[in-house]
């Protein structure tokens, strides 16, 4: 890396968290020149102002089509750009699309120099998705806890049970009906509200 | 027999109607297909996911299907189309300021594209004299009908699209905001975005593309050529489902039902009323409520619209040549024409199709000589403004 100057990388991503995760990964790997564009308005002008060697964009971004204009030879386009695709390596293309990221190289940056960047983007994008899934799961677990607590309260009051007994009743019902305890708790709350 | 699973990508535009109705109205299921529709945000995504096999088929810009088969701008993946999802359907919308400037220069019928193109050339000249920035026009993709339609129109009036104005790619959902904020002065896009701009009071519909061309191939049902060869029965079934859906859409008795299907949030997701305007070709063209009608605004299946016409593929290829996206060669032209497959359409229906003869050259442009696919070089030489390679 020391021998060659670090390529300038621009991340086009409306998600600041994902961009930060990606940027951190790139910096750790020694790519010191990383910029982030969040604002899609006038995207091409913003990119030209930064004049990057590599552009990384997430696939949920409609502005991907704007980047395709940079493949064209025209007055509006200063330096031709190509999408990084290795024609011989369809697995790599698939991994990239699966991860939800696409990369473009400006003015013939060598393939062996972009490959590690792309690999890093793929792994960081995947890490972000995993993080998001975990966050979702934690959120729903928290929701479940609240619902179960409310249902326990209803059962305790109606049947004169202790908290421990109410929980055991919910759990054994869930097991018998092959349902999640959160779902049983939700039905109790719904029923209680109906019968108010 | 279990249904054959298919993943099909689409962009939320009204010309995806035949695909959406084929699935949601059950025509695909009746043909033994279990289709999952995947709504996408960019043509690049649709193209890439079709190319690498994440999609079995896609609602695709006809020029992207051709560019993919020619290997222009991206990986070369041969694509074939057994069904044409729509003819026409786009419109050119301009900002109130540009509309006023054009109307001040119009000399004749403002619905005549030659009159407006000449007016545009005078507006461009006036701006240049005044030292103003060139006008900016938004379109949806480098390989798009919108790009070629804008270029054809303005060049007929003497405006060089590469010298006198700026053409920029904008994703359709951003068009209206960009017009409102002054980032672009005009755009060419499909429904519903022109109507959205008019309803918000930020644009005037200057032309329906049907004013500029009688028959402009717009979107196709695209599949990879190798996939079509491995799955001929599935493709035939899918094509039949589309023919059924197109017939259903074009029956005025079904219009409300079709609009309700398309309006669903995971489909096109705009109000049924806007969708009806598009399908009926009765559009509000200015914020003060003026309406205009055209039976040719969008053709889905009517007048043989569903059957791909290789002459239209040749015409699209000729535009790529005219504007420097592709070199001119007989081999490339042949490859482009082979993307549009009327034979697959006929085979699916078990009929020998007929060519629609209403428009002798298959395109019916408002300016220039009739299109001659036998001699694209001579055809293009007849246009004063072009930007050919080498």
- Residue A2's pLDDT is what? 41
Query: Are residues B245 and B347 part of one domain?
Result: yes
Cis previous bond, A136, omega within 30: no
pLDDT band at B32 (very low <50, low <70, confident <90, very high): very high
| pLDDT over 90 (residue B293) | yes
Question: Which pLDDT does position A73 carry in this prediction?
Answer: 61
Q: Does B41 touch chain A (CB under 8 A)?
A: yes
The CA distance from A133 to the nearest CA of chain B, in Å, is: 21
Question: Rounded to the nearest 5°, which phi and psi values hold at B37?
Answer: -85, 135
Q: Among A182, A159, A160, which residue's Cα sits nearest to residue A170?
A: A182
pLDDT score, position B83 = 98
d(CA B375, CA B388): 16
Q: What CA–CA distance (Å, rounded) separates B289 from B80?
A: 42
pLDDT, one tens digit per residue, over B77-88 is: 999 999 999 999
Residue that has been written with the tokens 């097991």 in this structure: A175
How many Å apart are CA A121 and CA A11, to the nearest integer?
A: 10
Is the Cβ pair B168, A61 closer than 8 Å?
A: no
**Element holding B291 (H helix, E strand):** strand B291-293
Residues found in chain B: 390
| Residue B267 in this model has a pLDDT that exceeds 70 | yes
- How far apart, in whole angstroms, are the C-alpha atoms of residue B381 and residue B39? 41
Q: Give the gap in angstroms from C-alpha B11 to the nearest C-alpha of chain A.
A: 11
Residues B151 and B242 in one domain: no
Q: Which domains does chain A have, with CATH numbers?
A: 9-134 (3.40.190), 137-194 (1.10.10.10)
- Give the confidence band of A3 by pLDDT, cuts at 50, 70, 90: very low
**pLDDT mean over B225-253:** 97
The ipTM is 0.88
List phi, psi (to 5°) of A102.
Answer: -140, 145
Per-residue pLDDT at A78? 60
Q: What average pLDDT does this structure show over B265-269?
A: 95
User: Tokens for B347?
Assistant: 């085979």
pLDDT, tens only, A62-94? 999 998 888 776 555 566 566 665 555 677 778
Q: What is the pLDDT of residues B297-319, one digit of tens each?
A: 999 999 999 999 999 999 999 99
- Beta pairing, strands B136-139 & B90-94: unpaired
User: Distance (Å) from the C-alpha of residue A22 to the closest C-alpha of chain B?
Assistant: 21
Structurally, how many domains does chain B consist of?
A: 2
- CA dist A60 and B147 (Å) reads 23
B327 shares its domain with B195: no
Specify the pTM: 0.88
CA B200 – CA B180 distance, rounded (Å): 9
Q: Are residues B350 and B220 in the same domain?
A: yes
Q: Which of A138-142, A172-176, B334-338 has the lowest mean pLDDT?
A: A138-142
The torsion of the CA quartet B339, B295, B363, B91, rounded to 10 degrees, works out to -80
Buried b (16+ CB within 10 A) or exposed e, B207-232: bbbbbbbbbbbbbbbbbbeebbeebe
Q: Which domain holds residue B98?
A: 90-212
Q: What is the pLDDT of residue A95?
A: 85
Q: Which of A59, A65, A74, A80 to mutate to test the interface with B (most CBs of B within 10 A)?
A: A65
Q: Tell me if B190 sits within 8 A of B76, measured CB to CB.
A: no
**Does a structural domain hold residue B341?**
yes
Instruction: Give residue A114's pLDDT.
Output: 78
Bigger pLDDT: B344 vs A127: B344
Q: What is the mean pLDDT of chain B?
A: 95
Residue A99: its pLDDT value, please?
86
**Which pLDDT belongs to residue A79?**
62
The answer to whether B141 contacts A75, with C-beta atoms less than 8 Å apart, is no
CA dihedral (A25, A26, A27, A29) positive or negative: positive
Considering the domain architecture, whether residues B354 and B223 belong to the same structural domain is answered as yes
Q: Which residue has the tokens 């959406």?
A: B20
Same domain, B315 and B198: no
Whether residues B123 and B138 fall in one domain:
yes
By the 8 A CB rule, do B326 and B317 touch?
yes
Give the highest mean pLDDT range of A8-22, A105-119, B306-320, B339-353: B306-320
**DSSP one-letter string for A40-66:** -TTHHHHHHHH--SEEEEETT-TTHHH
Residue B353 in contact with partner chain A when CB distance is under 8 A: no
Name the average pLDDT for chain A. 85
Q: Looking at residue A91, what is its pLDDT?
A: 77
For chain B, what is the radius of gyration of the CA atoms?
20
For residue range B362-382, list pLDDT tens digits in order: 999 999 999 999 999 999 999
Q: Could A94 and B163 be called an inter-chain contact, meaning their C-beta atoms sit closer than 8 Å?
A: no
Task: Tell if the CB–CB gap between B49 and A97 is shorter than 8 Å.
Answer: yes
């Amino acid at each position: 890396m020391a021998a060659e100057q670090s390529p300038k990388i621009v991340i086009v991503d409306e998600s600041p968290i994902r961009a930060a995760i990606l940027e951190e990964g790139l910096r750790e790997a020694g790519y010191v020149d990383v910029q982030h564009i969040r604002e899609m308005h006038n995207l091409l002008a913003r990119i030209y102002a930064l004049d990057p060697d590599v552009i990384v964009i997430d696939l949920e971004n409609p502005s991907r089509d704007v980047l395709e204009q940079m493949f064209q030879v025209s007055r509006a386009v200063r330096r031709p750009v190509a999408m990084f695709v290795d024609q011989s390596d369809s697995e790599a293309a698939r991994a990239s699309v699966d991860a939800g990221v696409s990369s473009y190289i400006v003015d013939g940056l060598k393939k062996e120099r972009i490959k590690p960047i792309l690999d890093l983007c793929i792994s960081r994008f995947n890490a972000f998705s995993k993080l998001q899934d975990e966050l979702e799961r934690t959120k729903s677990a928290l929701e479940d806890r609240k619902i179960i607590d409310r249902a326990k309260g209803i059962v305790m009051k109606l049947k004169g049970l202790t908290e421990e007994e109410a929980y055991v009743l919910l759990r054994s019902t869930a097991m018998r009906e092959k349902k999640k305890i959160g779902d049983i708790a939700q039905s109790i709350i719904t029923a209680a509200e109906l019968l108010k | 027999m279990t249904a054959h699973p298919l993943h099909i990508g689409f962009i939320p535009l009204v010309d995806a109607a035949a695909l959406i109705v084929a699935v949601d109205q059950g025509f695909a299921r009746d043909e033994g297909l279990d289709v999952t529709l995947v709504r996408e945000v960019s043509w690049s995504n649709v193209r890439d996911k079709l190319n690498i096999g994440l999609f079995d088929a896609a609602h695709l810009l006809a020029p992207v299907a051709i560019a993919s088969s020619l290997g222009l701008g991206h990986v070369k993946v041969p694509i074939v189309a057994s069904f044409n999802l729509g003819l026409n359907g786009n419109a050119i919308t301009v900002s109130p300021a540009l509309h006023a400037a054009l109307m001040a220069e119009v000399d004749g019928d403002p619905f005549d594209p030659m009159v407006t193109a000449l007016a545009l050339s005078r507006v461009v000249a006036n701006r240049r004299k005044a030292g103003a920035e060139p006008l900016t026009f938004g379109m949806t993709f480098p390989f798009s009908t919108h790009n070629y339609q804008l270029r054809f129109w303005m060049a007929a009036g003497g405006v060089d699209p590469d010298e006198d104005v700026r053409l920029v790619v904008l994703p359709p959902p951003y068009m209206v905001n960009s017009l409102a904020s002054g980032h672009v002065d005009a755009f060419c896009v499909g429904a519903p975005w022109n109507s959205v701009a008019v309803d918000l009071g930020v644009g005037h519909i200057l032309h329906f593309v049907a004013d500029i061309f009688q028959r402009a191939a717009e979107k196709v049902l695209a599949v990879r050529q190798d996939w079509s060869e491995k799955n001929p029965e599935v493709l035939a079934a899918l094509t039949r489902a589309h023919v059924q859906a197109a017939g259903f859409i074009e029956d005025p008795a079904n219009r409300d039902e079709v609009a309700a299907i398309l309006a669903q949030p995971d489909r096109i997701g705009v109000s049924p009323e806007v969708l009806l305007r598009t399908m009926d070709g009765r559009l509000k063209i200015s914020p003060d409520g003026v309406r205009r009608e055209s039976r040719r605004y969008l053709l889905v299946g009517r007048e043989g619209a569903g059957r791909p016409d290789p002459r239209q593929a040749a015409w699209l290829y000729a535009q790529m040549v005219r504007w420097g996206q592709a070199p001119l060669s007989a081999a490339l032209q042949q490859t482009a024409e082979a993307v549009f497959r009327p034979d697959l359409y006929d085979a699916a229906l078990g009929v020998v199709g007929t060519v629609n003869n209403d428009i002798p050259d298959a395109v019916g442009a408002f300016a220039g000589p009739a299109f001659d696919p036998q001699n694209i070089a001579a055809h293009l030489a007849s246009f004063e403004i072009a930007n050919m390679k080498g």
